[in-house]
Amino acid sequence: MSVIGYREWGIWTNLDFFGNEAKVFGVAYLKITPSLMAEQTIGFIYEQIESIRQGQQGQFEDQRLKNYFDLGWITPTNELVIQKIATIFTRNESIQIFIEEALNELEGLSLCLDFPLTCNEIQFIIPPTQPHHGIAFTASRKPIGRAMGFRIEERGVASERLASDFNGLINLNLIQKVAARHYLNGLTLLGLEDQYSGLIDAAFMQFYQACEVLCGENYILSNVKKHIAVNYPSEARDLQLIAHHVWQIRHNYFGHGNVNNNITNLVSLDDTFNAAKQVLVARWLCKRLLDLDMNANPLVREMTLYHNYNSVYFSGSIEHLISEFYIGYDYKNAPVLDENGNTLETVQLGQ
């Protein structure tokens, strides 16, 4: 599974410190996102500092680790904060280097402590003992923007669904119930995504698993396409092409360990976003198959992701799929099959 964790950071700098190049000493406050056992895990770090202070254990040998257990500058706190002493140059590029180093060290601490220490904000404070003191910079992790619309026409369909579909939707068969749970879980994960890394990945797989369930519990793409041809003949061509795309994305990014794709998603926001937006296609396919299987009034509310002042959404258009969502997988020539598995046509989904 890929890890869509790379984000840019918004940085505010105090011009009193960053007006000329110099070295400054301070304490970085790494704010940890609340989650189960976060308080106890961070509390353990402060317990270790106190044990070192009282001579119950020796100081750590690794200098980078010592910076998190300094006895002179790190003070107890009830906040979900890990502190680190550091000296930085007062250049903007130094801040980005510092953030990357701190996040890498937090990952090491996470592996040591068997707990995910997810940081979304960093403050670097110069202590009062220095000639100039105060907040030197604040950095905040920027989210991948997401929105779900509720347009006038979508509201009309929603009213129709309440009037005519509610009874059916609370009396689903087992296949529909499993798929619906996957779908709703995927939507929940998308709503939470930018608090924690990895939830877009998990949301994609929830939608994908629902598609497998709704396509005869198949994971083999040719069987999926035949199932679609038999059960949804009026929309079989487009649904097969979209399924073909989703299966390739799953294979390359979300279904298997793939080092090269993981590396690009860890260092480039453009590559991260190109992988992240695929969740829109998986979600659309999942919801369309679910509505068809339940014989419900179709409603796929518009969902949008934002990047570099641009937005992207998916509404089932094959032309849009090709122009906006193809990202270089090899199996780009997509056969459209009949119910017996014979090829009716082949459509190229990418260049």
Strands 310-313 and 333-337: unpaired
pTM surpassing 0.75? yes
Judged on CB neighbours under 10 Å (0-12, 13-18, 19+), 98 is buried
In this prediction, residue 1 carries a pLDDT of 45
Token digits for 224? 């999926």
Backbone angles phi, psi at 316, to 5 degrees: 100, 0
CA distance 313 to 311: 7
CB within 8 A of 109, min separation 6: which ones? 45, 68, 82, 117
Partners of 348 in the β-ladder: 333
What pLDDT is recorded for position 270?
82
Helix, strand, coil content of the chain in percent (nearest 5) = 50, 20, 30
H or E element, residue 209 = helix 199-214
Q: Which residues pair with 347 in a beta bridge?
A: 334
Task: Please name which of 171, 45, 37 lies closest in space to residue 108, comparing C-alpha atoms.
Answer: 45
Helices 269-276 and 259-267, axial angle in degrees (round to 10): 120
Dump the DSSP string for 246-261: HHHHIIIIISS--HHH
Maximum Cα interatomic distance, the chain, rounded to a whole number of Å:
80
pLDDT of residue 150: 82
Q: β-pairing, 310-313 with 134-141?
A: unpaired
DSSP 300-339: ---EEEEETTEEEE--S-HHHIIIII----S--EEEEE-T
Around 145, how many Cα atoms within 13 Å sit in the side-chain half-sphere?
10
CA 324 to chain centre: 19
In order along its 351 residues, the chain shows pLDDT tens digits of: 445 666 788 999 988 888 677 888 999 999 998 888 899 999 999 999 999 999 998 889 999 999 999 999 999 898 999 999 999 988 878 899 999 999 999 999 999 999 999 899 999 999 988 777 899 999 998 877 778 888 889 899 899 999 999 999 999 999 999 999 999 999 988 887 666 778 888 999 999 999 999 999 989 999 999 999 999 999 999 999 999 999 999 998 887 766 666 665 666 778 888 888 999 999 999 999 999 999 999 988 888 988 877 889 999 999 999 999 999 899 999 999 999 999 999 999 987
Contact 34, 80 (CB under 8 A): yes
Contacts of 124 (CB under 8 A, 6+ apart): 26, 27, 28, 29, 86, 88, 95, 98, 135, 136, 137, 138
269 Cβ contact list (under 8 Å, min separation 6): 6, 7, 8, 307
Residues 6+ apart with CB under 8 A from 342: none
